Chain A
């Protein structure tokens, strides 16, 4: 049986206590998208700035549990400075790790390594928490769509 140490890894707690890239961006030019989990009440407001096909900046606001907040924090670090295609590939790779998307072999670009995000792997053992980890990613996906990127 998976234990709490599988879920609450130190790096996750670090991002929870000290979330990176919190805040807002001016819209326009930024795109603002709100995401929420109706089951648990977690909310995220994602601010995305895409410039010349690159994710120039991402800021997040909102509230939620340690898993949703740390996932959002690590996500911003994983995608800022990446091309939009790379960002989408990271989203896919992350959701594959969360076992909610199959692996595509025809990915247009190689997904960058997940790095710190690997720490969230343990979440898969706690199925009710997967939605917490994925909230920010779904919201980013929607923001990329709305930004026309």
Chain B
């Protein structure tokens, strides 16, 4: 079937022979891989893998769990019933991503206020509309933490949310 499928693009590496009256394609898979390969991307990917390996994926996961624990505890301690955090409270059962609802503020308003304070979150339905509908949520705010973050970032998130309360005053 792949042999019968015409190539989407022409270009370097996908050619077998070219004549004035036509051309023949290289064998699969090269016929579908016209143009310069992603050389820079592959080198960059290799560097990223080396970097992560030098730290160790287990250490990264530990850091992520520590941050997530700190975030869950900080958010709950500071905002109590004003915040609804989706997903399990056990950080071993979740990644470093926290989706939440804050008071009755719309996630886009929350993210706008956080943005002003250099805290970057995503707001919306996160390309997961059926799930959002199932959860009864119109949209959520989503904070992600990883290797590059530390406790101060979580504190900034909490401070930013407190600021949202001041602005909307509801």
Interface residues in chain A, defined as those with a beta carbon under 8 Å from any beta carbon in chain B? 3-4, 7-8, 13, 16-17, 39-43, 63-67, 126, 129, 132
Contacts and interface: CB of A to CB of B under 8 A. Distances in A.
A13 B116 contact: no
Given A4-B116, A8-B109, 11 more contacts: A4-B112, A13-B168, A13-B169, A17-B170, A40-B123, A41-B129, A42-B138, A43-B138, A66-B105, A66-B106, A67-B109
9 contacts: A40-B108, A40-B124, A40-B139, A41-B138, A42-B138, A63-B106, A65-B106, A66-B106, A66-B109
Interface residues of B, number: 19
Contact of B139 (A7, A8, A41, A129): A41
Contact of B124 (A39, A63, A126): A39
Contacts of B109: 8, 65-67
A14 to B, nearest CB: 11
A13 B124 CA distance: 21
B38 interface: no
A129 B138 contact: no
Interface string B131-170: 0100000110000000000000000000000000001111
Interface string B100-128: 00000111110011001000000111000
Contacts of A16: 168
B23 to A, nearest CB: 42
A63 B170 CA distance: 16
A67 B113 CA distance: 13
B20 to A, nearest CB: 49
A66 B164 CA distance: 12
Contacts of B116: 3-4
Nearest to B139: A41
Q: Which of A17, A41, A64, A66 has the most CB of B within 10 A?
A: A41
B125 A40 contact: yes
B132 A41 contact: yes
Contacts of B112: 4, 7, 126, 129
A123 to B, nearest CB: 11
